[in-house]
Amino acid sequence: MEPDFQALRKEFPVLGRKTYLNSGSYCALANDVKAAFEAYMDDRLLVGANWDVWIGKNESVRSLTATLLNASPDEIAVTASVSAGINSLASALDFAGPRNKVVVSDFEFPTNAQIWHAQEPRGARVVHVPRAGDGYIPLEHFAEAIDERTQLVAITHVCFRNGAKLDIPGIVRLARAKGARVLLDCYQSVGSLHIDVRALDVDFAAGGMLKYLLGTAGIGFLYVRDSLARSLVPTNSGWFAQADIGAMDITANRPAPSARRFEAGTPAVVNAYAAEAGLKLLLSVGTPAIERRNLALTQHCMQSLEEIGWRSVTPPQDERRGATVAVPSRDSGGLSKELMKRGIVTSHRDDNLRASFHFYNNEDDVGSFLAAMKQLRGSFSPG
């Protein structure tokens, strides 16, 4: 039986005021997450310093994230951001030998290309896989780029610009055939689609808590496959990355025998409160049902947009998209502002307006969005 999505809307007060289509940027705030922030404040007011509880919250985020991804807690580093996680991973890789190539795609969020380019002085060679004429990146393009010199294929799951989802199983097969590892940037998919890192067979995955995971900014995760979590040694480090955090040993670096070695300093305690509450709520709904819901809402939205003369650049095939519908406009920023005046919250990137859906959206939200887009077509459709 599907979850009662309509009833769940009551947990997100903003939905009573706005048509909220912005989860790919920042999720709607749930009552439980607000209560978690308040619990932290109460702790500070009434207890003062409650470190055992605070560290427990961070550990809870680690294990809930592991459950979400079908990983073990030892394979999860709780990070400050996706960028922090990828930087820490990059610091553990050696680009001095013949395997110095990092393959990224044209669909990357800047951070997952910039960090690899930042490794060029260390010997890394970054190769970009281009899109085809239809705007998608076919497997053949990855096959041309991935070779025996490839150390890492660092790819986004769902593109933040156009909502397209890459063929991850196909890309992983190509990488494995050449002995390369795979990093999945799943920030635009985690929480909106079902993700199983074991089934996908990726080596690393990075994401954060402020979008579809219902939490907040300033906290994220890096999944590192078990064997690599114990063998790679990051040169980005700190006391919370040590095997024994309490040892206070200043004579050596003794990394934790787990993905915790990819962490650094004191955890973002208040963010852990919020992230824990968001993850618990999300897991209670269940990602397989959320994925079905988001694919249905985005399909309905794209088809209806087309009927009123707006063409989206998001792929129509279910296996090729996430929870965002991207629509080119001659002024995507202006369009987003006009929608906001009508109570519809969206975002924009480049020439595309982005409407991102989550399980708390419904057909009425699609209807309000379409009615406004119909009104605004004359002024904002592409030239």
Ligand X SMILES: Cc1ncc(COP(=O)(O)O)c(C=O)c1O
Q: Which residues bind ligand X (CB under 6 A)?
A: 81-83, 109, 111-112, 156, 160, 185, 187-188, 208, 220
Locate 259 and state its tokens. Answer: 């993905």
Min dist. Cβ of residue 111 to ligand X (A): 5
β-strands 324-328, 352-356 pairing: antiparallel
> Which C-beta is closer to ligand X: that of 355 or that of 372?
355
Min dist. Cβ of residue 193 to ligand X (A): 13
Min dist. Cβ of residue 83 to ligand X (A): 3
> Which C-beta is closer to ligand X: that of 19 or that of 188?
188
> Which C-beta is closer to ligand X: that of 236 or that of 375?
236
Min dist. Cβ of residue 219 to ligand X (A): 9
Min dist. Cβ of residue 115 to ligand X (A): 9
Min dist. Cβ of residue 208 to ligand X (A): 4
Measured distance CA(76)–CA(65) in Å, rounded:
7
What are the respective helix, strand and coil percentages of the chain, to the nearest 5?
45, 15, 40
> Which C-beta is closer to ligand X: that of 208 or that of 376?
208
Radius of gyration of the chain (CA): 21
Count CB atoms within 10 A of the CB of residue 293: 22
**Alpha-carbon distances, residue 280 vs 64, 67, 209, 283 (angstroms):** 7, 10, 12, 5
Min dist. Cβ of residue 214 to ligand X (A): 15
Measured distance CA(279)–CA(191) in Å, rounded:
9
Query: How many residues are recorded in the chain?
Result: 383
Write down the residue that tokens 């790819």 correspond to: 155
What's the farthest any 2 CA atoms get from each other in the chain? 68
Q: Which residues contact 88 (CB under 8 A, 6 or more apart)?
A: 77, 79, 222, 234, 236, 262, 263, 264
**Alpha-carbon distances, residue 374 vs 255, 306, 308, 309, 367 (angstroms):** 57, 11, 6, 8, 11
> Which C-beta is closer to ligand X: that of 24 or that of 255?
24
Measured distance CA(319)–CA(174) in Å, rounded:
19
Name residue 260's beta-bridge partners.
Answer: none
Residue type, 94: D
> Which C-beta is closer to ligand X: that of 100 or that of 111?
111
Min dist. Cβ of residue 81 to ligand X (A): 3
> Which C-beta is closer to ligand X: that of 104 or that of 376?
104
> Which C-beta is closer to ligand X: that of 9 or that of 211?
211
